[in-house]
Structure 1
Amino acid sequence: MNKLIAALLVTAVVSGTAAASEGPSEAQFHAYKAYHHGQYLVVTAESAGGTNKLVHTTSLPTEGTDPVVSPALDHLYSKAVVDLTKGPVVLTLPKVEDRYFSLHITDQEHYTIYDEIRPRGTYVFVRYDYKGEVPAGTVIKSRGDYPHVFVRTQAFNSSELENVKKIQDKITLKGVVGSISVKNDDYLQFTINSHDVYDENSGLLESLSQTYTQADHAKIREYLYAWYAKSGLFSNEGAFGPIDSKENHSDNTTLRAAGIIGHLGLPVHHAYYAPMFINCDKKRLNGSKDYSITVPYKNPGVGEFWSVTRYSQLTGNTIPGKNDLFNAYNTKPDANGNVTITFSATEPNDGTYWMPVNKDEPYYYVERYYAPDADTLVTSADACPQG
């Protein structure tokens, strides 16, 4: 991990911990995660036509209307709410070797319980306390009835999306189709009823069930957005891994809750995310001033691929009608083996790659590095003064 992001992450976590004592409680932060994820499960199951049914995205979210905050433009998604109330559920994945392809499973408390790059074959979901016969395959045990399946299939560019769709068509999910019912929008009680809460979090959701409201949820979201923007630069280290993750800061409740801003994000060993809201002078990025970054075309710390995607700070989404993405598939290295990207309202015409931004509007960008090696990874922040 580069020193600047590491230092700012520590600052953000420490300040976030201190602020948490004056703001939301540990129970409220955990409730925020469970409430948001519960809402998401209901919406996703409805959009798929039920639980145990896959829903595929078939186009890249370039027009600023995607429901996901900071949507990636590197791949198409295949998602499903697994329903274990009627027994095991079987997921079958094709062999994919020509591109990044991954499986990511999240439980109802928003912890990663399984992730794999280029999975293939049969995966069997069961409740961790299930006593019946288990079909053959890689077994994934869940503490709850409704683990979430997230399959990412890399898209090199918009012209070859049909190749991705052919892969998606080979993904199957077999289980009894059902639905999710949540009374009075009490997503905390829904989680308590359908998921065995970890011992480490015992009593947190129970203390707020029946009293936690959408208004409470909105206030905590505002608090976390302010915390996130104030911290400026930090990675996803500690935000998305399993409850017993060995990642630094993974026991920080503020950071875990802030991770909902990147809901369903991958653990840092799988993908390193570096969201940049400020420049090297720690000033908020804004379209009123041109800004350039340089990244290596062949990054020594990247096992899969890298990308840089830009978003509006006003919407948390892509900017309609403008290019939003650069990666190794739509750029070429300069004489020094680097790629330089200029964020500006007008085209720079200086040989750098132009990432358009709206004049006088704040924006941010996210560097994504898949299969990273923290010891050798190079990010644009490495060029900033240290200290």
Structure 2
Amino acid sequence: MFKKQFTATIIATILMSSLSINAQEVKSTTLSPAAQIHQNQASTWLNQESYILATNAYLWGSTLVRMEQVARQYTDMSQPQNDTSYRAPLNHFGHARRLPTDQDTDMPTANRDTLYSSAVVDVSKEPMILSTPTVNNRYFVINMFDMWHNLFKYVGTRTTGDNAQEIMIVPPHWQGNIPKGMAVVEAPTTKVWLWGRTQVFGEKDYPTVHTIQDQYKLTPLSQYLSQDASDFISPTLSPRAGKPDDPLRFYEELGTYLTANPIPERQQALLGQFNKIGLSKDGFDRSKLTPSMKIQLEKAVKDGQQIVANQTSNPVTMKMKDGWYYSFVLDQFGDDNALRSLISHPYLGGQGAKEAMYPITYTDAKGQLLSGNTQYTMHFKDKPPVGSFWSVTVYDAKTKMLISNDIRRFNINDQTPIQKNKDGSFDLVLSHKKPTDSKQLANWLPTAEGNFYAITRLYIPSQDILDMKWTVPPINPIK
């Protein structure tokens, strides 16, 4: 009896399964044209949703991925370093010891006014004490960036003055005893990038600048309290997440770094939307993706990169006068994630307008591309109204490098012995060909043979510059 019931159950199951399959086949083959179109449209729109979410995830998260990559790059001591490098182990300062020249091909759009200092600081285990010396009669600044490229603290000439300082950098929501008289800065993330600039008065000034740089120090709180002055070794950062040949590596990295960095409260709702593409505060789960969704995520990274790169043409981002482009938002991008990503990539480490401005131009006053085939002038009625210093530097448009020339002059700044006119004004000469006139030669800024671009650096700009009542003179072609 039991055997007959068991056999009947198996036969019934097989019949039901067969009927189910046949029903599905009938259903799929009997869809009306309108229903088929609707089904295809639904698939298209779901793919579109994945693409939009993934693009927004790139615009939002590419800054975090970039900063975590920089942290690993700038603390990688596996290769010998040259004297323009500022790499150093974790929780230590590294310093560039000379200004770059045309022979240095690893530093695009490098400045010729300051020596850089860099330190990646991890305060997850304990606070770190930043010490700076007295710095008289020259500009210096150390910027504090979190892993979202928020410049949350300036230390230096403009904001904290010339006197020696000690500042304790603490992790988010830290609680503990503060040494008497110690200034405290709470970092938004447990890793912080310190990016320093120290003004140089020519190559003969290097020894003095080196002495200042050597006094930029980082000390763990425990050693500070015990007055232990010995050197210390911090653990290295983990390797970059993901595999180089993975087309979805960006999302793998973003997911990994999200688990290590606090998400600002106002951004948590945005992150919640990315659950649909496998991204959450717990990482990246690609098992949630269909093959077509993976294609959309790959496309979103490529298109996101283009969206970011073209933010320089966004009129909300830049203001333009006489061919020069000005940005006032390098430390005030708020929720503009595309702009934030732009700044953390080609403009990594850029400062806010009150600290410094960097007007840039690729064209002359008539809108024509700057070229070594043409000679140009810049007429200054007076020196730029800055609280610290100014400079004009030109770069080869193809390589973004400094330009080789007979007199080894790569920029003109407030230290250059330029010749002024009787009324105090002066005219810079920009040309590839060396001038024969002695006054023009004194004011000559050599350019590339082909196309080039120029950057004017204005450190601690006056209110007139911030209000654009004073602007950089146009670059005029000489007829």
TM-score surpassing 0.5? yes
What do you get for the CA RMSD once the two structures are aligned?
3.1
1:16 is aligned to none
- Structure 1 residue 320, shift from structure 2 partner: 4.3
> What's 1:240 paired with?
331
> 1:296–1:338: 8 Å Cα contact kept in structure 2?
yes
User: Which runs of no fewer than 5 residues in structure 2 stay unpaired?
Assistant: 1-50, 78-86, 221-232, 243-248, 287-293, 316-322
Determine whether 1:42 maps to 2:57. no
Residue 30 in 1 paired to residue 60 in 2?
Answer: yes
SS in 1 for 2:122: coil
**SS of structure 2 residue aligned to 1:372:** coil
Q: Which has the higher contact order (CA 8 A, sep 6+)?
A: 1
Asked if residue 72 in structure 1 is aligned to residue 111 in structure 2, the reply is yes
Supply the distance in 1 between the matched residues of 2:107 and 2:299 (Cα, whole angstroms): 20
What 5-or-longer segments of structure 1 have no aligned partner? 1-20, 244-250
Name the structure with the higher helix share: 2
AA aligned opposite 2:341: A
Aligned residue runs from structure 1 range 149-228, under 5 A:
149-175=194-220, 177-181=234-238, 182-184=240-242, 186-202=252-268, 207=274, 210=284, 220-228=304-312
Aligned to 1:275: 360
1: CA distance, partners of 2:377 / 2:420: 15
Pick closer, same or farther for the CA change 1:325–1:214 going to 2, 3 Å: farther
Do the aligned partners of residues 66 and 88 (structure 1) sit closer, same or farther apart at CA in structure 2, a change above 3 Å counting?
Answer: farther
Distance 1:32 1:64, change over 3 A: farther
Residue 383 (structure 2) aligned to one of 294, 298, 302:
298
Q: 1:292 to 1:368 in 2, by over 3 A?
A: same
Aligned to 2:5: none
| Cα distance, 1:293 vs structure 2 | 1.6
Structure 1 match to 2:444: 354
Amino acid in the other structure paired with 1:82? V
Q: Is contact 1:102–1:153 with CA below 8 Å preserved after alignment?
A: yes
TM-score, normalised relative to structure 2:
0.66
Percent of aligned pairs sharing the same letter: 22
Q: Does the CA contact (< 8 Å) of 1:126 and 1:141 recur in 2? A: yes
The size of the alignment, in residue pairs, is 355
- Find out whether 1:314 has 2:398 as its counterpart: yes
Aligned residue number for residue 7 of structure 1: none
Deviation at 1:83, TM superposition (A): 0.6
Distance 1:76 1:29 in 2: 32
CA distance 1:187–1:293, shift in 2 (3 Å)? farther
Displacement of 1:220: 4.5
Alignment partner, residue 369 of structure 1: 458
8 Å contact kept, 1:124–1:140: yes
Residue aligned with 2:259, SS: helix
Counterpart pick for 2:155 among 88, 103, 116: 116
> Is contact 1:241-1:268 (8 Å) kept?
no
Kept in 2: contact 1:143–1:197 (CA 8 A): no
Residue equivalent to 2:146: 107
Q: 1:301-321: CA deviations, max 9, x gaps? A: x11111111112212232345
**Higher alpha-carbon deviation: 209-218 or 53-62:** 209-218
Q: Judging changes above 3 Å, is the alpha-carbon distance between structure 1 residues 171 and 49 closer, same or farther for their aligned structure 2 residues?
A: closer
Question: Is residue 311–residue 339 contact of structure 2 (8 Å, CA) maintained in 1?
Answer: no
Compared CA separation, residues 34 and 193, structure 1 to 2 (3 A): same
Identify if the C-alpha distance between structure 1 residues 45 and 299 changes in structure 2 by more than 3 Å, giving closer, same or farther.
Answer: same
SS of the counterpart of 1:282?
A: coil
Q: Could you tell me how far 1:202 is from its partner in structure 2? A: 3.0
Tell me the distance in 2 between the aligned counterparts of 1:227 and 1:134. 43
1:337 maps to: 424
Match of 2:27 in 1: none
